[in-house]
Amino acid sequence: MTEPALSNSQPAADLIDRIKAGDREAFKDFVRAYQQKVFQLAYAFFGNREDAMDIVQETFLRLHQKLDTFRSGYSLQGWVLQIAKNLCIDYFRKNYRRRKELESEKSLDDLQLAAEENGAAARAAELKDLLSRCIHKLADKQRMIFVMRHYNQFQVEEIARILNIAPGTVKSLHFKAVQNLKSQLSPYLGVSR
């Protein structure tokens, strides 16, 4: 997945300079270029549109305040998604974890029963829901990497760049996430471990 094209092929540093100078259109170009990437990340993280939209807005507000921290030569997409990722984790820690835990504790068994009674399509839908709940139980970094890999469909190197970690670490954390999901899901998918 490549960096989104900015209008007029403007280099990232020029765009940032124009926004710093108060150029509203430059800022809108900036939002236009990355809004969907941020939304994808946040939606995958929270699994609902409203929270994802909040994160998109908050990310660009935060980016505007932190324009001075952008280092020229650095990937603009990496910088944007790094801030979005931090906001997602903060937001999740503040508002989400307990709520999701309660929901998950209550409904995992219900989901399995429902899956047994319905057909294949329903089972697929339930699996998706079940997976989403299990993803919320992962550690922050594991969750972020799984989401970026499977929902945002980033390659390992892109994730490494965005999260500022080594590609080997990305692979290893992704594998841990998969292993954790396996152990969470195996009782519900009827797979012998």
* Residues of the shown chain interacting with other proteins in the complex, contacts defined by CB under 8 A: 20-22, 24, 27-29, 31-32, 35-36, 39-40, 43-44, 47, 49, 52-53, 56-57, 60-61, 64, 67, 124-125, 127-128, 130-132, 146, 149-151, 153, 156, 171-172, 174-175, 178-179, 181-182, 185-186, 189, 191-192
Instruction: Indicate the residue among 56 and 163 with the shorter CB distance to other proteins.
Output: 56
Instruction: Indicate the residue among 36 and 72 with the shorter CB distance to other proteins.
Output: 36
Q: Residue 72 CB, nearest distance to other proteins (Å)?
A: 17
Instruction: Indicate the residue among 38 and 163 with the shorter CB distance to other proteins.
Output: 38
Instruction: Indicate the residue among 130 and 144 with the shorter CB distance to other proteins.
Output: 130
Give the pair of three-digit tokens for residue 134. Answer: 């299990």
List the Cα angle 184/188/190 in 5-degree steps: 115
Q: Residue 62 CB, nearest distance to other proteins (Å)?
A: 10
Q: Residue 179 CB, nearest distance to other proteins (Å)?
A: 7
Around Cβ 99, how many Cβ atoms within 10 Å? 11
Instruction: Indicate the residue among 53 and 114 with the shorter CB distance to other proteins.
Output: 53
Q: Residue 31 CB, nearest distance to other proteins (Å)?
A: 4
Q: Residue 92 CB, nearest distance to other proteins (Å)?
A: 17
Phi-psi region of 9 (alpha: psi -120 to 50; beta: other; left: phi over 0): left
Instruction: Indicate the residue among 26 and 163 with the shorter CB distance to other proteins.
Output: 26
If you search the block for the tokens 């650095």, which residue do you land on? 74
Q: Residue 185 CB, nearest distance to other proteins (Å)?
A: 7
